[in-house]
Structures are given as structure tokens and as C-alpha cells.
């Protein structure tokens, strides 16, 4: 099971990114765990300087962008 981490303080874009990540996983038929990382010190440990950030299995794949489900699906497929 892959772990998707949404990096952000809980803003609307962060919540939308989490929903898009879930939609991407469902579309691929993948079981994922989605975790929201809201503490700034934790977010910075990923090297994320602009939220929202997206990490898959602990690796930062995007920051400062509200990705669409199809874009997230590509990251999930390449993380296999």
C-alpha cells in the first residue's frame, strides 16, 4: 500500500489536493493511505517550501501546485 502525504496547513487547496489524490488512487484501483502533514517543521523536513505539497512514500513529488487527479495518477504509477 502506498502512502500519500498532503503537505500543508489545512487550506482549501490542501483539502482539494487530498480529494484529488484519493480520486486518482480510486481511478487506478490502488489502495493508499492518505496522511495530512500540517506541522510546518514536518513539512520543511520534506524539503517543501511552498504548499500544498504532495509526497508519495515519503518522497516529495510536487509543491506549490494543485494537481489534478490524472497528474497525481502519473506520479502513483511511476512510484510502483
Q: Which residues are catalytic?
A: 11, 14
Is omega for the bond preceding 68 within 30 degrees of 0, making it cis? no
DSSP state, residue 29: T
Render 28-74 in DSSP notation, one character per residue. Answer: HT--EEEEEE--HHHHHHTT--SSSEEEETTEEEEES----HHHHHH
Q: What residues does 67 pair with on adjacent strands?
A: none
Amino acid at each position: 500500500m502506498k502512502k500519500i502525504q498532503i503537505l500543508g496547513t489545512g487550506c482549501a487547496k490542501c483539502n482539494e489536493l487530498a480529494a484529488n489524490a484519493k480520486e486518482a488512487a480510486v481511478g487506478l484501483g490502488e489502495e493508499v493511505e492518505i496522511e495530512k502533514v500540517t506541522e510546518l517543521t514536518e513539512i520543511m523536513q520534506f524539503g517543501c517550501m511552498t504548499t500544498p505539497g504532495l509526497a508519495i512514500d515519503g518522497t516529495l513529488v510536487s509543491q506549490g501546485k494543485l494537481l489534478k487527479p490524472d497528474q497525481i495518477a502519473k506520479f502513483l504509477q511511476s512510484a510502483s
